[in-house]
Amino acid sequence: MRDDISTLFHESTPPSMSLDPYAVLAGGRRRRRRRVALTGSALTALAVVAVAVAASGLGSGRPTALPANSSSPGLPVSVTLGGTEPMLDNQGHAIPGPSRFAVEIDPTRPDNLGYYAVDGSGTRTLIARSDVTLPVAPTGAGPVTWGTGSAAPHVVLGVLPAAATSWMLANPSATSGSHSDQATLGVTGLQAFVSVYDNATDAAKATGVIWRDAAGSVWDQSGPVPSASLDADTVAFVDARLDLWGDFTATGSMSAPIPTTAKPDVTWSGGDQRVALSGGDQFTPAVHVGLVPLRASRPEATFAPGCSQRVGPTLIPAGDGLHAFLYASCVPASASTNAITGLSVVVDGTRISS
């Protein structure tokens, strides 16, 4: 691992693969989102909240196939992330430093992964170089690397498998929100991502990357993570390696430190967006997910008046042998309604509320 400009990068060791991943259809996708660091909510203190916002357009990478045999030369593949306009913090102020970036894989170099800042004229300035193992299989498993450089201390740049349909940076110590963007790196089996933090000191606090794939499996940079599908759109996980638990929903993702007490630790999302239906429009379901000891029983939920299409509460084993997910959802009557005002379970004969 090269460290030319005081850049700290983290990598995982990918599994060995015998298939040719470059037979996969070339494509690209771009999703930009704003992550807001919260100090608390009606139910719990959350470490990270990410709300997905759809954005049109593809990355600027050239869909040139890299060689299936990485010992053979090939052409670089690159994508551009971010935008030409300055990114704004929670107060609407411009975040200092670059807001547009490029990530390039050049198989002719030993440090085959390059990260650049891009100015208004399109000129690229190197932030850091790293390396990533190729080829990559079109599955959830695969190499991950990320880091931040002294030339852009407020930025985390990296790559992860293209199979990731949702992802989050594990950064429980962050004190500010961030902007994120991602785009597929041609047919390399990887996608590039960037997170730009309001507070420059937060970028170096990232401890890992967690993502889910289309099959509902959850991964971090070291491998599979215990998880469970709670409904058609919601997958929850417990990652003891990163000391985080959380969930991926239709509207975003959330994470928080694994609790050390039996009191339900709860995240929530959704319930604030109208969707059109054949019989009129309604708000999206508000999804509430809690983490409780596996021995918890008799779940109860307090739904707000007017909350319809109620589901749960139910207890679903988390898959780690220690915890269960406490799940409930409903469609609120208005965006201002706190759809579920309380969740509780019985642990060792005592009812404990969130």
Q: Are residues 184 and 271 in the same domain?
A: no
Query: With contact defined as beta carbons under 8 Å apart, do 159 and 169 qualify?
Result: no
Please give the residue that has the higher pLDDT: either 13 or 285: 285
For residues 47, 53, 58 and 64, what is the CA-based torsion angle, rounded to 10 degrees? 30
Q: Are residues 29 and 111 in the same domain?
A: yes
Q: How many beta carbons lie within 10 A of that of residue 301, not counting itself?
A: 24
Indicate the DSSP class of residue 139: S
Q: Is the pLDDT of residue 19 over 50?
A: no
Q: Are residues 217 and 278 in the same domain?
A: no
Q: Is the pLDDT of residue 152 over 80?
A: yes
Residue 230 lies in a domain: no
pLDDT mean over 143-167: 87
Q: Are residues 257 and 212 in the same domain?
A: no
Please state, in angstroms and rounded to a whole number, the distance separating the CA atoms of residues 291 and 286. Answer: 17
Examine the fold and report which residue of 225, 260, 278 is the final residue of a domain before the chain moves on.
Answer: 225
pTM of the predicted structure, to 2 decimals: 0.75
What's the domain range around 274?
Answer: 252-353
Q: Are residues 190 and 316 in the same domain?
A: no
Query: What is the tally of structural domains in the chain?
Result: 2
Lowest mean pLDDT across 27-41, 116-130, 304-318, 340-354: 27-41
Q: Are residues 217 and 267 in the same domain?
A: no
Residue 57 pLDDT grade (very low, low, confident, very high; cuts 50, 70, 90): very low
Q: Are residues 198 and 147 in the same domain?
A: yes
Amino acid at site 53: V
Q: Are residues 26 and 166 in the same domain?
A: yes
Q: Are residues 212 and 270 in the same domain?
A: no
Please state, in angstroms and rounded to a whole number, the distance separating the CA atoms of residues 146 and 130. Answer: 9
Q: How many beta carbons lie within 10 A of that of residue 352, not counting itself?
A: 17
Q: Is the pLDDT of residue 310 over 80?
A: yes
pLDDT, position 85: 78
Q: Is the pLDDT of residue 158 over 50?
A: yes
CA distances from 100 to 63, 180, 237 (A): 21, 11, 32
Q: Are residues 345 and 215 in the same domain?
A: no
pLDDT mean over 39-63: 28
Report the sign of the C-alpha dihedral through residues 52, 56, 57, 63, in that order: positive
Amino acid at site 79: V
Q: Residue 133 — φ and ψ, nearest 5°?
A: -80, 130
Q: Are residues 38 and 150 in the same domain?
A: yes
Q: Residue 305 — φ and ψ, nearest 5°?
A: -55, 140
Residue 64 token pair: 């040139």
Please give the residue that has the higher pLDDT: either 135 or 346: 346
Q: Are residues 45 and 157 in the same domain?
A: yes
Residue where the block lists tokens 């309380």: 342
Residue 236 lies in a domain: no
Please give the residue that has the higher pLDDT: either 59 or 128: 128
pLDDT tens across 221-242, in order?
Answer: 889 999 999 998 899 999 999 9
CA distances from 176 to 47, 311, 343, 348 (A): 10, 33, 28, 38
Residue 237 lies in a domain: no
Please state, in angstroms and rounded to a whole number, the distance separating the CA atoms of residues 299 and 301. Answer: 7
